[in-house]
Structure 1
Amino acid sequence: MLHATPSAAQKRAAFRAGLNSGTLQRFPGAFSPLTAQLIERHRFDGVYISGAVLSADLGLPDIGLTTLTEVAGRSQQIARVTALPALVDADTGFGEPMNAARTVALLEDAGVAGMHLEDQVNPKRCGHLDGKDVVDRETAVRRISAAVAARRDPDFVIAARTDARAVHGMTEAIDRAKAYADAGADLLFPEAMSGAADFEKLRAAVDIPILANMTEFGKSELLDAPTLESLGVNVVIYPVTLLRLAMHAAENGLRTISAEGGQRSLLDRMQHRRDLYELLDYSSYNTFDTNIFDFRV
């Protein structure tokens, strides 16, 4: 009620333990605090906070227009309501290495379990679009080093994302992954990998955990969880899946209301009021209110 029981430190420790468990950690993307609660109810291992989803929710394309304040604010809202660890997309760190360091501080304060920084140029773009570019390796390493130096909680996970696969090829992506691991990154996020063979090559080259991005309609083959686990992948994110499902359902619903003049035929496709109230734990709020404030003067 009001907030999740585990502390931020406990959730970070859980994320670390999951990375070291040898089992694949599944992190669906939460586009709101309510969807984070639903992810927890379905027994996933964590929630992912996508920069692309946050941009879309604000009516913006994913080209680096969101601010650190907006990302930290939404991250805090989501982390507050779930016992699961949250991993957040911090884009390029919102500026120079000093900005990346401040990003770590604010996201730690927001209560998330970790964040990832990417090596794209500023302003960035969606990792599955053509025309993106990456900064030189030295600049990218400085971003990671600044983030690692700035964290206060040693369990806060710093993930390094590289977009080099689509720009310069797999060899450069592997070389960057090694450099980012040497700079102190805890987790590697190789963006826009083409398929299983790419993950096999990366797994053979680096020792630290690897994240797979299974986003729809992009450049990557959609691999299932058993396949990813067999490849040695440690975390899989489904960043935009729930937003795509929700927006598709909303669009179809609006089309039906417009055509039929009402929503009666849509009732069997809606979450019932009682199910929403159960997810929100209305009964606990009522019990608390009655026990604390039920008195006479």
Structure 2
Amino acid sequence: MRALLSGPGIVMAPGCFDCLTARLVAQAGFPAAYVTGSGVSMSALGAPDMGVISYAEVIERARRIADSIDIPVICDVDTGYGGPINVIRTVREMERAGLSAVQIEDQTWPKKCGHEPGRRVVDVAEMTGRIKAAVDGRDDPDFVVIARTDARSALGLEAALDRAALYAEAGADVIFVESPESREEMAEINARIDAPTLANMVEGGLTPVLPAADLETLGYRLAIYPNSLTRLVGHQGRALMEMLRETGTTEGMRDQMLDHAALWGLFDYPDWTALESRFAATDGKGET
């Protein structure tokens, strides 16, 4: 992840919430994937992004995702799931699980989605403590710590920029100012922050959704698309279910589905069968 951030061009990291969506991201050729806390909460618990999901549930899903793809994976770890000791544990366990980066935010607990009203932020000292604990807790110096501030909506852009500077000083590798409300604000963020920055592209959210080339021109180094796949899966899945209920068949959307071979191929089925054949007895006598 650190090498990607140091290289040319903006790094695009679409969101995923399970191994299927992670494979779609990786096989499309993206350089990194983002484990969306909102998507995991919805898919694992049937609950919105309101701080309901636990550390154990997130790391279990993140571990499986990281094991299923071979590109760097960033994980949304909300506020770190407690005090500084909890943050250290979170970072160490995420690193051991195969993740390449974590994103920690300055909201109070329980947190809210970054594009919903009513978010509250902790004081600067508490958040800088989280960042320092995360940086100190990692074993691999290349493990990336992303610091997010939600102060723009609660306290205004200037307060968010002041926090961003302090978070970078505390050791964050990437700064994420959540929910700027115009292209001009996005430009101001990049003009004022002397660190790599992250853009959060949320369809229907508070921030303009811009092409990656425009984000790069503004100065962003990393762009995440947390729930683009979640939204599309929800939309298409609902359309399929409505059609099946009304017509009694799925044929009307068959051309929009992966066929059997393509779906299994998404998960390396030929490699699995070759591995099975390598070790399986074929005549019942142990001969192969």
TM-score by length of 2: 0.95
Residue 264 of structure 1 and its aligned partner are, at CA, apart by 2.4
Unaligned residue ranges in structure 2 (runs of 5+) = none
Query: What secondary structure is seen at the aligned counterpart in 2 of 1:117?
Result: strand
Query: What secondary structure is seen at the aligned counterpart in 2 of 1:131?
Result: coil
- RMSD over aligned Cα atoms: 1.1
Given that 2:149 and 2:163 are in contact with CA atoms closer than 8 Å, whether structure 1 keeps it comes out as yes
Aligned position for 1:28? 14
Aligned position for 1:226? 213
Q: Distance in 2 between matches of 1:212 and 1:43?
A: 20
Structure 2 counterpart of 1:133, from 120, 126, 129: 120
Given that 1:158 and 1:185 are in contact with CA atoms closer than 8 Å, whether structure 2 keeps it comes out as yes
TM-score by length of 1: 0.93
Is 2:43 the partner of 1:75?
A: no
Residue 207 of structure 1 and its aligned partner are, at CA, apart by 2.0
Aligned position for 1:280? 267
Q: Distance in 2 between matches of 1:83 and 1:182?
A: 31
Q: Distance in 2 between matches of 1:76 and 1:109?
A: 9
Residue 199 of structure 1 and its aligned partner are, at CA, apart by 2.3
Given that 1:186 and 1:209 are in contact with CA atoms closer than 8 Å, whether structure 2 keeps it comes out as yes
Residue 195 of structure 1 and its aligned partner are, at CA, apart by 2.6
Aligned position for 1:52? 38
Residue 268 of structure 1 and its aligned partner are, at CA, apart by 1.5
| Farther off after superposition, 74-83 or 196-205 | 196-205
| Farther off after superposition, 273-282 or 74-83 | 273-282
Q: Distance in 2 between matches of 1:120 and 1:152?
A: 26
Residue 98 of structure 1 and its aligned partner are, at CA, apart by 1.6
Query: What secondary structure is seen at the aligned counterpart in 2 of 1:29?
Result: strand
Q: Distance in 2 between matches of 1:59 and 1:187?
A: 31
User: What is the total number of aligned residue pairs between the two structures?
Assistant: 283
* Equivalent runs, 1:1-297 vs 2, <5 Å: 15-57=1-43, 58-294=45-281, 296-297=285-286
Query: What secondary structure is seen at the aligned counterpart in 2 of 1:123?
Result: coil
| Farther off after superposition, 34-43 or 81-90 | 34-43
Residue 31 of structure 1 and its aligned partner are, at CA, apart by 1.9
Given that 1:29 and 1:48 are in contact with CA atoms closer than 8 Å, whether structure 2 keeps it comes out as yes
Q: Distance in 2 between matches of 1:287 and 1:171?
A: 58
Residue 22 of structure 1 and its aligned partner are, at CA, apart by 3.4
Q: Distance in 2 between matches of 1:289 and 1:85?
A: 28
Query: What secondary structure is seen at the aligned counterpart in 2 of 1:222?
Result: coil
Residue 266 of structure 1 and its aligned partner are, at CA, apart by 2.4
Query: What secondary structure is seen at the aligned counterpart in 2 of 1:48?
Result: strand
Write the letter of the residue equivalent to 1:81: S
Query: What secondary structure is seen at the aligned counterpart in 1 of 2:266?
Result: helix
Residue 198 of structure 1 and its aligned partner are, at CA, apart by 1.8
Aligned-pair identity in percent equals 39
Aligned position for 1:7? none
Given that 1:22 and 1:234 are in contact with CA atoms closer than 8 Å, whether structure 2 keeps it comes out as no
Q: Distance in 2 between matches of 1:195 and 1:272?
A: 42
Q: Distance in 2 between matches of 1:26 and 1:294?
A: 45
Query: What secondary structure is seen at the aligned counterpart in 2 of 1:62?
Result: coil
Residue 63 of structure 1 and its aligned partner are, at CA, apart by 1.0
Aligned position for 1:3? none
Given that 2:179 and 2:206 are in contact with CA atoms closer than 8 Å, whether structure 1 keeps it comes out as yes
Q: Distance in 2 between matches of 1:291 and 1:279?
A: 21
Given that 1:211 and 1:234 are in contact with CA atoms closer than 8 Å, whether structure 2 keeps it comes out as yes
